[in-house]
Chains A and B, each alone.
Chain A
């Protein structure tokens, strides 16, 4: 049944640290790799080596330019480049689940992971319409909806060494910008990170109650004058003299 569970025992999800993400797209690649070789239909590509390549991804990294507002203490704040990985947020009130006509989309009671039963999916695309985050993508080859599974086939997989029992994107992130854990436990790593760093919901006004949290970028250091000798240097002459000066004045008169 595609009704949402009233509550889930665990709330597994990710914390994504926008302060430390370096935008390397390693999470995108490891996600594509793992999810192509394991659970469910592979993530296909169309025209991968041609002129108009396109493919299915469960995780994509956007980049945004943020221009802070000028203040009296910071009259000319530098713009920042923020890399922004985006995947399924495993919402508590997931609109993608309730619109599904077949029951293929569901949210697990035991851990809150939102999954698609691919053998029930008719590929109507309505769940992707209902998701404000663009977390679901219809696979052009399989005709079924693909989405982040939170690597459900890794996190409980006893065939893997314990260190690998976390989502592929978290395992691979070289910057430590991704964290996996249970938000229902107030003492978990993700709950503490969220509390300490002011983790935020994306599009809170959509009422989806996302489980995944984003940590805002911290304010950048404001460095003072770096070159200690600079104040002692003579200012460069601003006004041209000699022939150039004459030319400048003459042209000015014309």
Chain B
């Protein structure tokens, strides 16, 4: 799949922002007044900034409101609802904390659940895609949720939780890669089933594509990445996303180390997200002979 910058920025930033909102919603840290204001501003910048970025890849962003209509069937529509509800509820909860010095705990817990729910709906947009075997697994939701919780804990300064959740997210990431590397081959979809021509043991080979030039399908779905680079990027994603932040958290706390841990984590997650799209094989590539399976 084409690794569109707008979608990578969206899933990376919003995942982190809603993760932070989750921890704020359950009062960890139990901040009020100006420090609550600072936390909420960071969370909203990340969550809303990511959402706005996601509209950049739309052909008609001015019609985006129509996307709220199909929540019964569409995960993308559900994501829109979950995001708006989470932001409204957490906004009310945050206003109480910042301006009235009031903690409406129930509202906070509802907001926290909605924040995680938003991340879950995002993950299901990808996790539902049968056409991309690498994504079509419950591990995709586990990946998005574990990243969001771990990153949120890191941003919220919940060091002891972050020290558990960051390694856990790294484990989910490795499991997801392990599953993904054999997903297309074990999906049962190949050039034989795509064309129906591999009958009685015949071998099918893509001989000539429809046109000599490129097209939307090839640009959007048939992004091929060198395996050697993928392995290097995976190491970078794990190192920056999880190993370095954990090391920095284990050192005696300074604000500089804390900030470095967040920046490093963000860079690692962005690298992981780039791979999430770039490595994903859409089965339409089979028709173009662009998949090994």
Cβ contacts under 8 Å, B193 to chain A: 202-205
B5: Cβ under 8 A from any A Cβ: no
B182: Cβ under 8 A from any A Cβ: no
A137 touches B210 (CB 8 A): no
A42: Cβ under 8 A from any B Cβ: no
Q: Distance (Å) between the CB of B74 and the closest chain A CB?
A: 5
Contacts A54-B213, A67-B203, A101-B77 known; A125 to B197 CB distance under 8 Å? Answer: no
A181: Cβ under 8 A from any B Cβ: no
- Of chain A, the residue at the smallest CB distance from B282 is A129
A134 touches B221 (CB 8 A): yes
A134 to B200, CA, bound (A): 26
A65 to B198, CA, bound (A): 10
Cβ contacts under 8 Å, A131 to chain B: 131, 284
Contact with B along A195-239 (1 / 0, CB 8 A): 000001111111100000010110000000000000000000000
Q: Out of A61, A95, A140, A143, which one reaches B131, CB within 8 Å?
A: A95
- Of chain B, the residue at the smallest CB distance from A119 is B63
Cβ contacts under 8 Å, B57 to chain A: 124-125
A137 touches B60 (CB 8 A): no
A95 to B129, CA, bound (A): 9
A86: Cβ under 8 A from any B Cβ: yes
Across chains A and B, the number of contacting residue pairs, with CB separation under 8 Å, is 196
A64 touches B204 (CB 8 A): yes
A98 touches B202 (CB 8 A): no
Contact with A along B148-163 (1 / 0, CB 8 A): 0000000000000000
A69 to B204, CA, bound (A): 11
Contacts A65-B205, A203-B283, A205-B193 known; A137 to B217 CB distance under 8 Å? Answer: yes
Q: Out of A84, A95, A99, A214, which one reaches B76, CB within 8 Å?
A: A99
Q: Distance (Å) between the CB of B67 and the closest chain A CB?
A: 4
Cβ contacts under 8 Å, B287 to chain A: 62, 86, 133-134
Contact with B along A37-55 (1 / 0, CB 8 A): 0000000000000001111
A248: Cβ under 8 A from any B Cβ: no
Interface range for A: 35 or more
Contact with B along A1-21 (1 / 0, CB 8 A): 111000000000000001000
Beta-carbon contacts under 8 Å, B157-195 to A: 187-189, 191, 193-195
A130 touches B76 (CB 8 A): no
Contacts A101-B67, A103-B66 known; A62 to B59 CB distance under 8 Å? Answer: no
A130 to B200, CA, bound (A): 30
Beta-carbon contacts under 8 Å, B1-51 to A: 1
B70 touches A121 (CB 8 A): no
Contacts A28-B210, A62-B209, A63-B207 known; A143 to B202 CB distance under 8 Å? Answer: no
Contacts A56-B216, A203-B283 known; A124 to B77 CB distance under 8 Å? Answer: no
Contacts A103-B66, A206-B189 known; A98 to B74 CB distance under 8 Å? Answer: yes
A200 touches B60 (CB 8 A): no
B69 touches A102 (CB 8 A): yes
* Most chain B CB inside 10 Å of its own CB: which residue of A61, A124, A125, A145: A124
B210 touches A57 (CB 8 A): yes
B216 touches A100 (CB 8 A): no
- Of chain A, the residue at the smallest CB distance from B193 is A203
Cβ contacts under 8 Å, B59 to chain A: 121-125, 138, 142-145
B220: Cβ under 8 A from any A Cβ: yes
Q: Out of A69, A99, A128, which one reaches B200, CB within 8 Å?
A: A69
A22: Cβ under 8 A from any B Cβ: no
Q: Distance (Å) between the CB of B133 and the closest chain A CB?
A: 10
A124 touches B76 (CB 8 A): yes
B206: Cβ under 8 A from any A Cβ: yes
Contacts A28-B210, A61-B210, A64-B207 known; A3 to B73 CB distance under 8 Å? Answer: yes
- Of chain A, the residue at the smallest CB distance from B212 is A53
Q: Out of A63, A84, A129, A203, which one reaches B129, CB within 8 Å?
A: A129
Can you list 14 residue pairs at the A/B interface with Cβ under 8 Å? A3-B73, A60-B211, A64-B197, A64-B204, A65-B205, A65-B206, A86-B210, A101-B68, A101-B77, A122-B59, A130-B131, A132-B283, A133-B287, A137-B215
Other A-B pairs beyond A67-B202, A138-B216, 9, CB < 8 Å? A25-B210, A66-B203, A69-B202, A98-B73, A99-B74, A124-B67, A126-B76, A143-B60, A202-B195
